[in-house]
A and B are shown apart, each in its own frame.
Chain A
Amino acid sequence: MAGQDDILLRVEDLKVHFSQKKQHLFSQASHVHAVDGVNFTVPRGKTFGLVGESGSGKTTTALAVMRLVHITDGQVFLGDIDIGGLEGEDLRRQRRHMQIIFQDPYSSLNPRVRAGDIVREPLDQMEVGEVASRDERVGELFRLVGLRPEQQALFPHQFSGGQRQRVGIARALASQPDLIVCDEPVSALDVAIQAQILNLLRALQDEFGLTYLFISHDLGVVQYMCDEIAVMYLGQIVEHADRISLFTEPLHPYTWALLSAVPSADPAIRDRSDRIRLRGDPPSPIDPPPGCRFASRCPFAESRCSGETPALRTIRDGHAVACHLVGDDGVPPQRQI
């Protein structure tokens, strides 16, 4: 694994809880445990993937790293600075080192602002570079993401979905950040456009040594894009591994179920006899039960699963899993039958 000094982002015991409005006067206030004790580190220049279904907390984790939601507890270090603890002007100054690309290219650009000004805005707001050089920089950013500098004068609605996402990427690149959070950057795009954006993101990473925190529910995209991956379920990381070992030797039953569920054009996956099916929907993250949160849907669950919370333990080099049923030898329950 990467040495300590190569770590760009370190998230320690991150918790984000939302209190829900009381339904009526005498009901107890309930808490949504959107993110509940998450730890991970992202090496510089790598792509770290967070996958999971809706309610898994992957997007909330990303927004917490960006300081766009209130952090209930825990630390987020960008380099040596605990950005989780910054406020006001200090936080504003750190923001130029981390930027975000959003999912929906239709709601992520202000419809009343021209594309050029959208890209220029971070330069002005965060006072990046000389004022005089900013126009030139915007033109350069447009070229970098495959847009023509003349298109700066257009309004967002005059672009296609893929082009809008390019504008969003240009804005994220403007302040030359170290970390870019990609929150489902292609899931709102047409299939044929996704490749354009994914190729662009990889090319930019190579060119500028960017570090991505990549959020997606699409395992194919994650498998292609990410170097390290954490699988989240109901606000917690259940498995964490590098790309090759996660997909070839998934340990957690949930990871396995997720992989089984993906409809695949690859006959090798489709014809696997050991695919498992989950029943029911992911439970709600409001006041989650004790023990393993996956126990209610896990086909292998035993009685201790709903009583004791499994800790994330490292089975082998860089591959960690939070499941009681995975043997210390690294044999997952789905292989023990």
Chain B
Amino acid sequence: MTDQVEPSAPAAPKLEPDFVPEVEKPWLQTWRMFAKNRAALFGLVLLSVIVGMAVLGPTLYPADPYDIVWAPQSPPGTEGFILGTDYLGRDLLAGIIYGSRATLIVGAAAALITIVIGILVGALAGYYRGWVEELLMRITEFFQVLPPLLLAMVLVLLFSPTLVTISIAIGVVSWTATARLARAEFLRIRELEYVKGARSIGARNSRIIWLVILPNAAPPLIVSAAFAVGIAILFEAGLSFLELNDPNIMSWGYMIGSNRPYVLESWWAVTFPGIAIFLTVLAVSLIGDGLNDALNPRLRQR
């Protein structure tokens, strides 16, 4: 046992003997995680049904939701009107079907505006720091301290209530949270070495912001976008309830608002639109939760 094995320079076996390149696109991995989450899948199915209703519903059930078709306040089931009629005798089912369009359009458009303003403000503030950040964050704080529903009402009243103005109004009052989130992510990621690496090869600021940092900041922003849709839908319902809706387009919030005085005589006229709003927001929230888990890299490793 005397001859010790010489430690210096043994014939080293070559590196990585049999590495199996297994490549899975990140979004595929995200989908696998998402699909494992039953609640999220349920949300996705529910939302698909609602979207399907908005797209195909008017073709399958061609009825004008503003037409007075039967006696006012007929209970569900009367003469083939599955959900009954409201205080003027309008078909509630038609209202629900057509109302889903306003709800989804405003929800999506307002969320888009929220996300776009939020990311723009947050990204510029977080990336450039200095006076840019100072200025943008003061503006953000200004919007944050205004009561959002009141501000949205004022905005809608100033211009005539159409889907466009309502979406803009909701977007304008609700982007601040996204901006703060985006700024926090940008502040964190801009200090990482791969961002320095991008600068060291001469990448321009715009490239670094949009192609290097933003994709890496995306997961929480996507989740926040999902929740923004839910919030926008509730806002839209709230505005319509106050009759600040586009008068030419039926909306669930408007249905609840206009039937509110008669709730004791015809409960169904406020209940069904209420359930519709509830289910839509639920679906969006479940999806948001599912995305949150699926995009969380720490949970993904398991």
Contacts and interface: CB of A to CB of B under 8 A. Distances in A.
B19 A148 contact: yes
B216 interface: yes
B200 A148 contact: no
Q: Main secondary structure on chain A at its contact with chain B? A: mixed
B10 interface: no
B266 to A, nearest CB: 54
Contact of B201 (A111, A112, A121, A196): A121
B272 to A, nearest CB: 44
B201 A102 contact: no
Interface residues of B, number: 21
Contact of B200 (A66, A107, A158): A66
Contacts of B80: none
B201 A151 contact: no
Given A100-B197, A168-B197, 18 more contacts: A91-B202, A92-B202, A93-B202, A95-B202, A96-B201, A99-B200, A102-B193, A107-B192, A107-B193, A108-B197, A109-B197, A112-B26, A125-B202, A125-B203, A126-B201, A146-B15, A158-B21, A158-B23
A93 B23 CA distance: 35
A191 to B, nearest CB: 15
Given A108-B197, A112-B216, A151 B202 contact: no
Nearest to A94: B202
Contacts of A150: 21
Contacts of B216: 110-112
Interface string B186-216: 0000001110111111110000000010011
Interface in A43-100: 63, 66, 68, 91-93, 95-96, 98-100
B6 interface: no
B194 A110 contact: yes
Given A112-B216, A151-B21, A107 B201 contact: no
B3 interface: no
A196 B14 CA distance: 11
A135 interface: no
Interface string B5-42: 00000000001100101110010000000000000000
B215 A108 contact: no
26 contacts: A68-B199, A92-B202, A93-B202, A99-B200, A99-B201, A100-B196, A102-B196, A104-B193, A107-B193, A107-B194, A108-B194, A108-B197, A110-B197, A110-B198, A110-B212, A112-B26, A121-B198, A146-B15, A148-B19, A151-B19, A151-B21, A155-B23, A158-B21, A158-B22, A171-B197, A171-B201
Nearest to B12: A196
A153 B23 contact: yes
A196 B15 CA distance: 10
Nearest to A146: B15
Interface in A97-138: 98-100, 102-104, 107-112, 121-122, 125-126
Contacts of B21: 150-151, 153-154, 158
Nearest to A69: B196
Nearest to B194: A110
A215 B178 CA distance: 39
Contacts of A104: 193
Contacts of B26: 112, 155
Interface of A: 63, 66, 68, 91-93, 95-96, 98-100, 102-104, 107-112, 121-122, 125-126, 146, 148, 150-151, 153-155, 158, 163, 168, 171, 175, 196
Contacts of A146: 15
Interface of B: 15-16, 19, 21-23, 26, 192-194, 196-203, 212, 215-216
A92 B201 CA distance: 7
Nearest to B15: A146
B201 A125 contact: yes
A91 B203 CA distance: 11
Contacts of B19: 148, 151
Question: Which 9 pairs, one residue from A and one from B, show the smallest C-beta to C-beta distance?
Answer: A108-B193, A92-B202, A102-B193, A122-B201, A95-B202, A110-B194, A107-B192, A125-B201, A107-B193
B61 to A, nearest CB: 45
A68 B201 contact: no
Contacts of A91: 202
A73 B194 CA distance: 26
B202 A102 contact: no
Nearest to B199: A68
A95 B201 CA distance: 6
Contacts of B202: 91-93, 95-96, 125-126
- Give the most central of B26, B202, B212: most A CB within 10 Å: B202
Given A95-B202, A125-B202, A103 B22 contact: no
B88 to A, nearest CB: 55
A200 to B, nearest CB: 10
A107 B196 CA distance: 10
A141 to B, nearest CB: 14
B124 to A, nearest CB: 19
A112 B22 CA distance: 16
Nearest to A103: B193
Contacts of B16: 148, 163
A171 B193 CA distance: 13
Contacts of A109: 194, 197
